[in-house]
Every structure is written in structure tokens, then in C-alpha cells.
Amino acid sequence: MRDRGQVFMDFRDYVTLLRKRWLSVAVLTALGVLGGVVASLATTPTYEARSQVFVSVQGSSDSASDLLQGSSFTVRQVKSYTELATSPRVLDPVVEELGLTDDAASLAERVRAESPMDTVLINVIATDESARLAASTADAVASSLADVVGELETPAAGGDSPVQISTVRSATVPTEPSSPDLRLNLALGLVVGLALGIGLAVVRELLDTRVRSAPDVEAVTDAPVLGAIGYEADAPEHPLIVQESPQALRAEAFRRLRTNLQFLDLGDGARTVVMTSALPGEGKTTTSINLAITLADAGQRVLLVDADLRRPAVARYMGIEGSVGLTTVLIGKVGLRDAVQPWGSSMLDVLAAGQIPPNPSELLGSETMTALVGRLGEEYDVVVVDSPPLLPVTDAAILARRAGGAILVSGVGTIHRQHVAGAVAALGTVGARLLGVVLNRVPLKGPGASAYGYSYYEYASEPAPTGRRRARPAHGSRRRPGPGRRGRSGAAASLPEQPLPARGQAGSRRAPELVPERVPVGTGPGGTASFDEVVAPREGR
């Protein structure tokens, strides 16, 4: 849909809205119908009886002019007689005749008179909980009206009244109640409930500022939407979906993100991208890891750097040593080559966060970090940097200014547009470039999925069984730590640091021999690795 700040929506917007919020509309509509039923059952049935009288003028002359004058006089007087029907002078005799407990005022509430236009007929209508009493009241009021009119129209000099009121239709005892009207109440309840449901859905849609689709992001930034990562119920248990189930829907979404990222124009700067989000919990770390894996699968030399020095999680997700990493390199305690750990059989290296420092912002903003970013950009095809959220701290903005740009991960349904706008503003304040936005946790099923335009998920292959992953050597098994390198334990190297292979030398690595080995096939959020016997490489042959 268009910007939610706009009041007017077109027909397609309403259709999409009804598909998304059909449950609330249906509930309110059902409540409206139920209210109509309850109102009908709670209302005491009443009956309505009708008596009709004819008003005429008596005269001794039969000339046309006299007849015309008499007819005009009668039509004018009928309106007055209609109002007279509910007066105490007419109703008091009715109360006495029928022996009612009501007075004239209360009886007037149950009696009304009406005259069809341009006629000399008066309909007297009486309503009562008793059908027989309603008919008796209507006839009694009609008879009393005739008597009162005769008295009022009698000439002062004496003689008969020129106006005569005659009953032409006596009231019949009704067989069905006139109120409540069940069908009318049901129809009114349906209309009112449907209107309230649609109105509430529109109001909620206009007031809802959560990011739910690409247009919501486009409303606050000109940066492109690079990809949409679907969400499944078991997603938290399988964070490294590209490794565990390469044919899954989410894995295909990460490959689409990789393709879009490869077509970005990063200018003359290094291909170093900072992955960040507006707030914690939007999935930036798992997005960074899976993106790095897909980039490495495409044959590029990739380094994944955990620069979230406040809540590091890359080492835990990937099952590697996390005590030695970026912080130990920046303070000069360990060389870069010793801190970088290989992962898997692809071209992926990982630089963990290391120990959490007391001054993360100052450390990431130092000249040493600037030099390190420049060096990594020269020695790797792509450097993916996982950084903290933008709104709580400034670390990601500092890193993005030194890198080629930032990619903002936004959790669909959890983040609000004002948060995205604040994150974009934080990057703009320091002059960092926003490369694009990744929508994470997009629903794959339900009305919302098609509304976002992610129907390509339907054409993906069936997910591969998650019990066994494809033959991929375990992380850390691509090359063994030899002299001058550091093993997973993080022990200090005894030989001088050697430079990392330059870009373009990735093909010089010797192909390993594949042998069965029990290796970790994935890690969960708790960092516990699960093991299986898969084909893993053996080096040194």
C-alpha cells in the first residue's frame, strides 16, 4: 500500500486491508448480528392495529362551486383533525370507555394518526402489548374523534355539523407482532458491525507505524530494498539456514540478497559493508552470517568481522573461539593473521569480537581501526562487518563512515517507521552511506505475504531435510594452524605475522582430500553445536 500517512486509499488498498484484517472485521460483524438477535429477544413484542375514517362536508347546495369549496375545506381541515386525534379531549373518553389504567398523556404515546397526502382519509393507529386491546383502542379513538369533531364544527346558531367523520375500516386483531422486527434488526446489526469492523481496520492501518512492507521503508528513505528474508516457525532453531538447509526458502532469500548486493555500486571504496539495525533483536547478526556464507559460496574471499563489541554473537552462532578477535588485534596483543579463523570449505574467514572492552566506541573510532578496515578491504573481496544497532549506540555509524557503506536490517512487524527514520538520520549525520535495507522476518504465508510481493517463494524448491546437511567441511578444518598461526585456543604465535593472501590468490589454495569426520553441522542460539558424520577435508596431502 501507499504511505500510511495518506488518508485516502484506493480499491486495491481496501482489498488488501480486508485480507489482512479480515478476522477483526468478521468478529465485529458477527457481534453486530448477535447484537441484533439479542435486541430482538430482549424487546417485548407489541402489536399494531389500524382504523380508518373518512372526512366529508355536508351541504344543501349541489352546485359545482359549492362542492369544490367543500372539498377544499375538507382537505385543509384533515390536517387539523389528524393532530386532534391524540389530544386529551379525544383520548379521555377512550380511557373511560376501555377502563384503561393509563391517562391521556401515556395513551397518546401509543396512538398516532396520519393522513395520506391529498386525501380526506385519516388512519388511526394504536400499539399495545395485547393484540385485542390494540384493535379496541384504534376503533375507540376513531369513534371519539368523530364525536369531538362533530361537537367542534357545530354552528353556534344551532343545527347539525357540516363535517361528518365516518369509519370506513374497523381495526382487525393483528396476528403477528409489529415489533421487534427480527429481519430488520439482523440487517441493521450486520451493517453496523461491518461498518465498525472496516472503520476500525482503516483506523488501525492509518495509525499503525510498524514496518510491514517495502513501501513503509520507501516512505522514510530513498535507499533501495535489497532483499526480503522470510520467517518460519523454526527459524530461531536454525540460524545458519544457508549451511544447514541450502534449499530452504530462507536460504534462497539470502542468495537473492547476495545477488542484489553484488550489483551495488560501491564506487572506488573497498567492498566493506557494515550490517546494522535500528534496534536490537531485528536479526542483523544472523543476516550477516548467512550473507557472508552465500558470498563465500559464490567463490569470493569473504571476511566476517564481529564488530559488535557490546553483545557479540558471531562466535557463539558459528561455534568458533571468541576470546581472541577484533579487540585483541586493535590493542596490538595479537596479529591479524593469528586472530582470523577459517570457517568451512568455502572462502570464508571469521574475525570474532574478542573480549568485550570498556570503551567500544573509542576503540572502533580509533586510527588503528581505520587502518585495519583499509587493510581488510585490500586483502578480501568482501568484508561483512556485524555491528551494534544504530539508535542505542554510535558504534555502527562510526564504522559505516570508514567502510563502503551500511546495510540496515529491519524486522518486519517489530520495528516502527520512526525508528528506521532515526537510524537513517544517524548514518546521515556522520556522512555514512546507506547502501540499502533488508526486510527480515517477512511472513511467508497468509494474506500479508502476497501483499509484499514475495510470491517468488512459491517457486522455490522443496526444503532439503534438515537432519543431515549437504557435504560441507566443518568450520576451522580448511587449513590447520601451522607455525606463525594461531589455533582455535587463541595461543600467541611464536613467529612474525605473515600477510594474508592478496585478492585474486584464492584459487591457489590446495584442494583438500575428503574423508569422513564427525564435525559440527550447526549451532543454535545457545551456542551448542550439534555433530554428525559428514565428509570433511584432510589437508597436508
Residue at 488 is within a domain: no
Q: Shortest CA distance to 447 belongs to which of 21, 8, 12, 9? A: 21
Contact by Cβ (8 Å): 480, 341: no
Final residue before a domain boundary, out of 459, 478, 511: 459
Q: Kindly report the CATH number assigned to the domain that includes residue 420.
A: 3.40.50.300
**Domains identified in the chain, total number:** 3
Residues 349 and 246 in one domain: yes
Q: Kindly report the CATH number assigned to the domain that includes residue 133.
A: 3.30.70.1130
Given the C-alpha cell 570508514, which residue does it identify? 402
Q: What is the pLDDT of residue 70?
A: 57
Is the previous residue joined to 180 through a cis bond, with omega within 30 degrees of 0? yes
Residues 284 and 429 in one domain: yes
Residue at 506 is within a domain: no
Q: Determine the structural domain holding residue 189 and report its residue range.
A: 11-43+181-207
Angle between helices 88-98 and 131-153 (to 10 degrees): 130
Residue at 214 is within a domain: no
Residues 254 and 398 in one domain: yes
Residue at 485 is within a domain: no
Which residues does 397 contact at the CB level (< 8 Å), separation at least 6? 390, 426, 427, 429, 430, 432
Here the contacts of 12-15 (C-beta below 8 Å, separation 24 or greater) are 14/198
Largest CA distance in the chain: 141
Final residue before a domain boundary, out of 459, 474, 494: 459
Residues 199 and 121 in one domain: no
pLDDT tens digit sequence for 240-293: 888 888 888 888 999 999 988 877 766 655 588 999 999 998 889 999 999 999
Which residues does 68 contact at the CB level (< 8 Å), separation at least 6? none
Residue at 491 is within a domain: no
Q: What is the pLDDT of residue 277?
A: 93
Residue at 468 is within a domain: no
Q: What is the pLDDT of residue 525?
A: 37
Residues 304 and 447 in one domain: yes
Residue at 336 is within a domain: yes
Given the C-alpha cell 606463525, which residue does it identify? 484
Residues 388 and 374 in one domain: yes
Residues 90 and 134 in one domain: yes
Q: Shortest CA distance to 229 belongs to which of 444, 523, 522, 465? A: 444
Residues 294 and 187 in one domain: no
29 is written with which cell numbers?
A: 460483524
Residues 119 and 30 in one domain: no
CA distance linking residue 232 with residue 261, whole number of Å: 24
CA distance linking residue 502 with residue 367, whole number of Å: 23
Residues 449 and 432 in one domain: yes
Given the C-alpha cell 526444503, which residue does it identify? 463
Residues 190 and 146 in one domain: no
Here the contacts of 90-94 (C-beta below 8 Å, separation 24 or greater) are 90/141, 90/144, 90/145, 90/148, 91/141, 91/144, 93/140, 93/144, 93/147, 94/137, 94/140, 94/141, 94/144
Q: What is the pLDDT of residue 120?
A: 86
Low-confidence ranges of the chain (pLDDT < 50): 1-7, 60, 447-448, 450-541
How does DSSP assign 298-354, residue by residue?
Answer: TT--EEEEE--SSS--HHHHHT---SSSHHHHHTTSS-HHHH-EEETTTTEEEE---
Q: What is the pLDDT of residue 293?
A: 93
Q: What is the pLDDT of residue 87?
A: 92
Q: What is the DSSP letter of 179?
A: B
Residue at 271 is within a domain: yes
CA distance linking residue 404 with residue 268, whole number of Å: 9
Q: What is the pLDDT of residue 492?
A: 32
Residues 158 and 86 in one domain: yes
